[in-house]
Every structure is written in structure tokens, then in C-alpha cells.
Chain A
Amino acid sequence: MTKKRWRRLWSLLVRFIFITVFIGLVGVSAYVVYLDGAITRTFEGRRWTVPAQVFAQPLEVYEGLDLSQEAFIFELDRLGYSENTSGESPGTYYIGAKTVVVTLRPFQFPDGHRAAQTLSVRFRGDHLSRLLSAGQSVSVRLEPAVIGSFFPSHGEDRLIIEPENTPRLLTEALIAVEDRNFRSHWGFDIGGILRALMVNVAEGKVRQGGSTLTQQLVKSYFLDNRRTFTRKFRELVMAIILERHFEKEELLNAYINEIFLGQNGRRAIHGFGLGSQFYFRRPLEELSAEEIALMVAIVRGPTYYNPYRYPERAQARRDRVLNTMHAYGLIDDAIVRAALAKPIQLATSRSGGRYYPAFMDLVRRELSRDFDSDDLAVNGYRIFTTLKPHLQDAAQIATLRTLGILERERNLPSKTLEAAVIIRDSQTGDIHAVVGGRTRGSQGFNRALDAHRQVGSLLKPVVALSALESGRYHLASSVNDAPIVLPDFDNWAPLNFDGQFRGPVPLIRALSDSLNVATVRVGTDVGVAKVASRITSLTGKAISHPFPSLFLGALDLTPFEVSELYAAFASGGFRTPGRSVVVVLDEAAATLSRYSIDVKQMFSSDNAAAMTRALQITMQRGTGRSSQFHSTGIAGKTGSSDNYRDSWVAVFDANLLTVVWIGRDNNTPHGLSGSRGALRLWDLLAQELAIQVALVPSLSHALQWAWINYQTGSETLEQCRDAVNVPLPRDVDLPRGSTCERGSDRRRSRLGKWLD
């Protein structure tokens, strides 16, 4: 080829290269411009999805409260408070010889902010006897426990930490360990890459990464974990763009709130704020040097350095981080020595939502009326609920223990029985605990809300109430417990549980002893439509085509619906809808939605008094008498369905109403009546409750208290056997009894003689 041709070829090649590079540069520039706009817009707007935090009911603490020191410390531990030598910094307590000193954390309650406050607390036995703050007697609220969060479908959960609340030790440790030139580079660090390469080659494994904090932020926020050249190039470009538009401190704060730190089932732990709660159950600002070091250590590989699964590995990395912090002068000799000597200590419960799934389910359903599930999951709402963790824990423990005992006693296959428990305030309707099954933390079928089971004898009080409301019955009214046949209903002939008939019995006994035949007689007389209507008014559940079998509980209700029904009895005749949410606040603590207490009188206080008294007697000497608390003034009713497929009890006092169901998911018989099954669970639970007498409203002038014989309904005296005191119409004319009444006749004649 001639020289001229070579020269022409060379010129063409140079032009080609020039044009290619030019087009490439234009393309890259356009791409960079596009990325610049996209990243900036995204980053300047809402940067993260911030899940809603859900809080339990705060514990109110005051002088005179029945609360032992042990129980108080337990509640502080639940909130992540740690014991130290003074108790003078927020989140700590000190147990002295006679006094507990505790400094409460600041907290934004729905009705105002509570600053950090140091308290001096004294106890006398099981009572809180003295509660002082700055020498003054006070009453305070502990901050409510976080019981869960609603996070988006992609699973990211986080607690946003503002720069002013970020410990300086954390930011400096991150920079020292992950990106020592963070404050001077432009998003990437050539020196860091080379350094990491040398260390990794020397040690024969990957010890250091070359990515800057900015690059890690980009990878976590915008990209994925693919190790490709293209992705790495994009990461580099995006990091430079971020550095160009945002301040270093902004990027650092973003990193602190974004970085992935672990997985808890479906929930991805993002950010050091939530990471601190997840691993230590304490706020970030309360962490010690070794705890901060552990969190920084986890950053490199949350799965590989998972401290729960690989504690030795995590501790080794933590110690390297501590040494780096010391080398950089972030901690002194004494601190690093002490920190290195401490083993890793993590929170024992990694709950946060999975712990109370049945209750969270109720919260979600209630909120779904007013909030979109997406809004709940991304806008950083704060949801305050009515859960009382100590009652929830007690209910869950009682459930698991009782089911195990029952299965062993009755030789049932292990783990075949299930249960549901609802505990609510008798007067306000606040739902304090929901147990959806025997397995704590399970997010499966929520039996408390969704198990529609036949309620059996639990409906008999409604029959009795309907009878009282008709005006033709009172608690001493005679009802014939004798064979009955209903020709209009396929000649249905109900039987009592023992096949026996007792003849004329007072209404109170028919209810208390759960006599089927007497109940059907009363119900038939009152009318099935009336009884059905009453059930509907108390539960909201429509009953189409009611049959007399309704009197004996041929109706499926969920445990929650049963609690709605019995709430009317427990509250003195008021429909008191159950609720789990008190208020929802937005990120700025403004109220979005408030759910107020709501009551509506459904039947007269006289009938409420009569029914509560009747249900007290049911527990004292009727089907509830096997309870060890039967004589404490509680009221309630047991129930079981056909062939003992469902075991129920509803028990209340003036303070709490509890409904318990036990059964099998496949609806096969288990042989447990209400008293042998559900009532035993309640008995175990009740050992953790402060039992009160059930609320019996005062009587109007139309009624008076009278002593009657429980067996016969005749008039009697207090000191006689089988005497029960019940409210009756003033003008009632009771038959005079034979046993024990002779004494009263003699007294009258003496009185008569004295007057003569």
C-alpha cells in the first residue's frame, strides 16, 4: 500500500475514533443529565417510606397504685431502660436500698410533649407509696411501648433519625471504618479503592470494600446488589451527582436512615434508628460505644455478621471496629478496654409487630375504614392503641399452658386444641388484649376475629334478658323445666345436658344451671323474633330466619362478637363497641383521626342489675362454680356447643371483660364443656388480674332486693341454705318457703308479743 493510502486510512480511523468518542460523550452526558434530574428530584422529595409506628397504652403511675417494685422494673425493662449506678440519664434507672431512681425519656404524647423527667419511686409491699419529681409528688405516664409498625409491601421498616439526634460517635465511627476520606472526596475515593485492594490481596480475602459511604447510599437507595460493570458505573456516576447537589451532612444523615441492617421475617430493618431498637430495644442516643461499634460492624454484611446467628463472627468484627475507633481517637483507652471486655448483649425479644399479630390485625381492620393501607405504611404516622402488654402477655401464657394441660389430661393429640381470648375494659370498650391462637407471634388465622363458632349456652342470658324486658318475668318467676315439644319446628324436643327434668324452677336457676328445657320454654313464650332482635341489637349481627334452637345458642359468633354481646352486661346495660385505636397522628404530631369512647344505653339499669346479679349467681353456684374465683363477685356464663366442639366462657367484673374460646380448627369434638375448658384458661389468667366485684347498678324505686330460695324461688331468709339475694319488683308476691322459714315465723310471733 502506498504512503498516501496509509495516510488516508489513518485519517479515516482518527475521524472514526473522534466521532465515536464524541457520540459516546454526548450519550453519556445525556444519560448523566437524565440521572442528575431523576436523582435530585427523588432525593429532594420524600426520601423514604416511613412506616407507621404503633404504640401500646402508656402505663399511668401514681401514688397508691397497686404496683410492686418488681413489676415496675419489669415495665421499665420492657421499654428498654437499662440499670446503672445513678438513673439520672434518660432511659436508665438505679435500684437503691429503699428507692428506685429513674429518668423517663422525653416523649411526644398525643396531648402534649413530656420532657425527660427524673423520678424517685418508693414501694411498700405491692404498692407504689411515693412518687416524687424534684421533691414534689407527681403522677406520670411511662412512654408507651412500641408494639409494631405497618410497613410497605417491599418490607422496608425504619425509624427516622434527625441529624441532631444522631450520636457523633456513630457518624465518626462510620467514617473511620467505612470511608475515612468522606469529607473530602467527590463521591468516590481512588485511594480507598487501592487501599482496599492491597489489604484484600494481603489477607487473601475481602476485608475491605472500596465503596464510599455515598456509593453505598446510592446502591441501597437506588440500585441493587448485582456485581456488574454497568451497575458499578451507574453507582459511580450517581454518587458524584449526589455529592454535587447535596451537603456532606445531608448525605450522611440519609445514609444513617437508609442503610440495611438486618431482616426480621418479612420486615427489612433499615437505618440505625430502627436498628438500635431491633438489636438493643433502646433509642440510638442511649447506645454505648461497644453497641455503636456492633451496629457499624453489621453494615458490612447484616446477614454474614448477624449477631443473633453468628455471635462470634459479629463480636470479632465489632472488636476490629472498636480498635479502629480507638486508633482514630474517637474513644479513649479506658473505654476501649472496657468495651472489648464486654460480650455482645442483645435484646432478648426481636419483636416489634410480630409479637402481637392478632391485636395488630384488629388495629389494621379498624384503621382500614379511614386510611388506605399504603398511606399507613409510608407516611410515618403514629398510632396510639389500647393494648396493655402485661394483659396480652398474661393471656398468651395462660393460653399456651392451659391448652397443653388439657391435651395431656384428656389424652388429646398434642397441639390440636386452639384458643382465642379477648380482654376489654368493661366500661369504656378499650380492647386490652387479643389472642388469636395458641402460638405467640403467629400471623396466621386470627381466631379471635375470624373464627365463627357455635356459642351454645352463651346466648341464654339474652333469653333471660328478653324475658325480663317483656315485663312478665322476674328472676324468681317460676319456669317449668319439664318435657316440651315444638310441633311447629319438626317436633323439636330439647333435653337438658343430663337428660333430667327438674320441674318448676325460678328463672335465676334456669339461667344459672343452664337448663335447656326451661330456657326454651321461656324463649318460646317471649318469642324467638324478640330474642333474635335483642342479639342483633347487642352484636350488630343480623339473624335471618331465627329458630327456637337460637335459645340454646345455635348461632355462630366470633369471640370478638361474643365480647360485644357481653360488654352490654358488663357495662350496666350499655352497648360499648370495642376499639383498639385511640388516635392517629401524622409525622408532625398533628391529629389525623381520633376514636372516642362511645356508649349507648340498650336496656334499663334495673334489668342490667338483675342480669348482672343473675350472672354473678351463675358463677357462684351455677355452671361457673368450679372457678377458684367463683365467690369474688365476678359475673359470667359458660357455654359449649353440640358434642363439645366449642368450649366458651365470658367473665366480667367492673374492670375487665374476658371472653375465651377453645376448640379445634377442624371442628371435631374434644369433650370439653365451658367449665372444663375455657373457664380453666380464664382461671389461670385471672391469677394475674386484680379481680373486682361486677358492676351492679343501683335499683330504681320499682325494684327491691329480696332473698329467695335458689332451688324453688320461694321467699326465704338470708341465713337459710340456698338463699340468694336478687332484685325483684316491689309488688311481687313470692310463695313462702317451707325449709328454714319456721325460724322467721317464731321471730314474728315474738315481735308480735312484744308489741302486744
Chain B
Amino acid sequence: MARLTFLFVFLFLFGCAANAPTPSENQSTNTPRRGSLFEPANTPSADLISNARDMIIAGDIVDAIVLLERALRLDPQNGHTWLVLAEAELRRMGFIRAEQFARKAVLFLSTMDQVQAWRTIANALDGRGDAQAARSIRELHNIR
């Protein structure tokens, strides 16, 4: 019984710490191989995203989107850029684009950050008048 208890405790702690398994057969991690030309390792897109957020707050949506697209060209796999782009579209009532950009953001965001993306998707669906789909999203992802 003690051994069983120990085993369950161990598995519980291990399960909390582990991420979902990823393919590993002869496969490198997502760290890119160092090639000969032009690889976006550490990009300055963080500054661009920050500036874009300020622009959105100031109501300068069009210029913010221009900046975000530039950030995407620097680092297309940055989920935050896609998410801020979705939020910018939401601000100017581009609900279809907002939903799609937020769905794209989900691909790259951590599980925790995905919540904001799903929230944006739900808001976009509301904006389009699809309240039922928005409700489903909120329920599925436990969003208030």
C-alpha cells in the first residue's frame, strides 16, 4: 500500500510538471538549425508590438496594423503579434479578420496565453452576431 501510494504521488507530481509529449523520432527541437543566412533568432519584434499597442490605445489602428505586419515579417511565429493584430482588428470592427488572426495566434501561444486568444475569438464572434458560437467558445475554454 505504501509503495502504491508513493507511486501515485510520484506520478501525480510528474504529470503536473510534464508537457504533452512531442514527436521525437530523429527530430530536432523547435530550435532552428543555424543556417547560413538570415534567421530570426532574437528579433526586435517586441519593440514593434509594444509600440503598436500604444498606437491602438491612442486609436491609431491603421498605423498599428502596419507596425504589426512588419513585426510578423520579422517573427511570423510570434503568437503575441498575431494576437495584438487580432485585437487591433477587433477595435476597428474587423470581426472576421480578428477571429482568424486570433485563431492563428493559438497555434503559437502557450496554453496560458491561449485564453486571451480564445477570449478575442469569442468577442469577434459576438461582434459578427454569432452569440451561440461565442458562448460555446467561452464554455469550452472556461472564459468569462
Contact = CB atoms under 8 A, between A and B. Distances in A.
A724 B28 contact: no
A70 to B, nearest CB: 10
B77 A695 contact: yes
Given A60-B44, A572-B107, A693-B27, A111 B70 contact: yes
Given A596-B69, A633-B28, A695-B107, A139 B47 contact: yes
A495 interface: no
A177 interface: no
A67 B24 CA distance: 29
A654 interface: yes
B54 interface: no
Interface string B16-59: 00001111111111101111111111111001000000000000
Interface in A663-689: 687-689
The interface centre, meaning the residue of B25, B101, B103 with most chain A CB atoms within 10 A of its CB, is B25
B126 to A, nearest CB: 18
A135 B28 CA distance: 38
Interface stretch (A76-84, A114-122, A476-484, A696-704): A696-704
Which 8 A-B residue pairs are closest in the complex by CB-CB distance? A690-B35, A64-B42, A427-B76, A690-B39, A139-B44, A66-B39, A725-B23, A692-B32
Nearest to A630: B26
Contacts of B4: 755
B30 A62 contact: no
Given A655-B76, A692-B30, A66 B35 contact: yes
Contacts of A605: 106-107
A754 to B, nearest CB: 7
Nearest to A425: B76
Interface string B66-82: 11011011101100000
A601 interface: yes
A193 interface: no
B3 A755 contact: yes
B107 A67 contact: no
A696 B97 contact: no
B91 interface: no
A613 interface: yes
Given A427-B104, A616-B27, A695-B77, 4 more contacts: A65-B39, A631-B26, A689-B35, A724-B25
B67 to A, nearest CB: 7
B73 A696 contact: no
Contacts of B143: none
Interface string A28-46: 0000000000000000000
Given A599-B100, A632-B33, A59 B23 contact: no
A723 interface: yes
B73 A428 contact: yes
A425 B38 CA distance: 13
Contact of A574 (B24, B40, B42, B100): B100
Contacts of B111: 698
A367 to B, nearest CB: 18
Contacts of B7: 755
Contact of A620 (B25, B32, B44, B67): B25
A660 B66 CA distance: 32
A600 B67 CA distance: 21
Given A693-B27, A697-B107, A63 B38 contact: no
Contact of A65 (B27, B41, B72): B41
Contacts of A60: 43-44, 73-74
A71 interface: yes
Interface string B82-124: 0001000000000001001101101100010000000000000
A330 interface: no
A725 B25 contact: yes
B107 A62 contact: no
Contacts of B35: 66, 688-691
